[in-house]
Amino acid sequence: MKAIILSGGKGTRLRPLTYSGAKQLVPVANKPILFYCIDNIVQAGITDVGIIISPETGEEIKRAVGDGSRWGISIEYIQQDVPGGLAHAIKTARNFLAGSSFIMYLGDNLIGTRIDTFVREFNDNSPEALILLKEVDNPKQFGVADVTKEGKVLRLIEKPEVPPSNLALVGIYIFSPKIHEAIDRIRPSKRGELEITDAIQELIDMGCKVESFILEMWWLDTGKKDDMLTANVIVLDEWLKAGIDAKVDDKSNILGRVSIGKGSVVRESKIRGPVVIGENTVVENSFIGPYTSIGNSVKIVRSSVEHSVIMDGSELNEIERLEESLIGRNVRIFRNNKLHKALRLMIGDDSVVEV
């Protein structure tokens, strides 16, 4: 079995962060989302992985991931020139897949369980497709499945006005090579894309066996700022391992599960976990509250931060309270102590500022 990870797209919902970077490389608990996907695939015993990239962010993905040697796997990069839909991505990867069954994993999805269970079920039952489903409160915003009590999929509908259930498609699928025939038989949707829901529905119409698995653990599509912060909370809560490999002076106080990387310095500060801080970062005269992830080479001075993600190279200086924030790379936020103390901002497109 092989795997493909979809790491293209323009990341419009995470702008302005994704103007300058791939959404799949935005960190959750200081680790790119894409790396969690690769970890899960490797844990399932799969060593042949294709990563679908776009012309805009493909080189960045290649630099970050490399040839797969850090995971002990082989990675091939496959460029999807236009965002033509999930089924189009499979079509683009057809030569790489070469008649193999495969996992398709959306590179901005996080789930709270390993996928090896689903791989075993697929191998044991030999369906043409196994789809993961999750109960959601807002099924109109997703592809939705109508299934029997036994888990057999009857039909799929993309963003239905009247959903037949509250079971949304999770961004992880397992297919036999039969999916290629189904994709060849469908046509682009109204939005001009080859929809994976249409391809799976075509399998059903062809009389193929399509099974489902309802996910009990959490699932997060990290496409928006609030989704990212929620993912950061859950990952810190469930997966963070404490470990301090930094210089912490005797005037500082560290409580709870806290991880601090090499070369970092904490002076006269209080840190209350769960918190992760990267390497070569300085925290001085500050409070770092729960559910905060701080990247590498960050400087935080006389500031208070909680429930936030601060990416590499950024600086906070004299910020009285920052919370529920997603701060990109090399950002400077500081108090204006000049005469009139006005707000002075330089903000790119699609930014949000609350003052």
Classify domain 240-334 at the CATH class level: mainly beta
Tell me phi and psi for residue 76, to 5 degrees: -115, 135
CA distances from 14 to 57, 84, 164, 231, 309 (A): 14, 20, 30, 14, 13
* Ranges of CATH 2.160.10.10 domains, the chain: 240-334
Distance CA 355, CA 350 (A): 16
CA gap 74, 66 in Å, rounded: 10
Which tens digit of pLDDT belongs to each residue from 98-129?
A: 989 999 999 988 888 899 999 999 999 999 99
Whether the predicted pLDDT of 191 surpasses 60: yes
Is residue 16 predicted with pLDDT exceeding 60?
A: no
pLDDT given at position 355: 61
pTM higher than the cut 0.75: yes
The owner of tokens 């680790």 is 31
- How many angstroms separate the Cα of 104 from the Cα of each of 20, 129, 151, 228, 272? 26, 11, 20, 22, 38
Q: In this model, does residue 228 exceed pLDDT 80?
A: yes
CA–CA distance, 270 with 290 (Å, rounded to integer): 11
> In the chain, where does the domain assigned CATH 3.90.550.10 lie?
2-224
Closest CA to 228 of 37, 70, 26, 84: 26
For domain 2-224, the CATH class is alpha beta
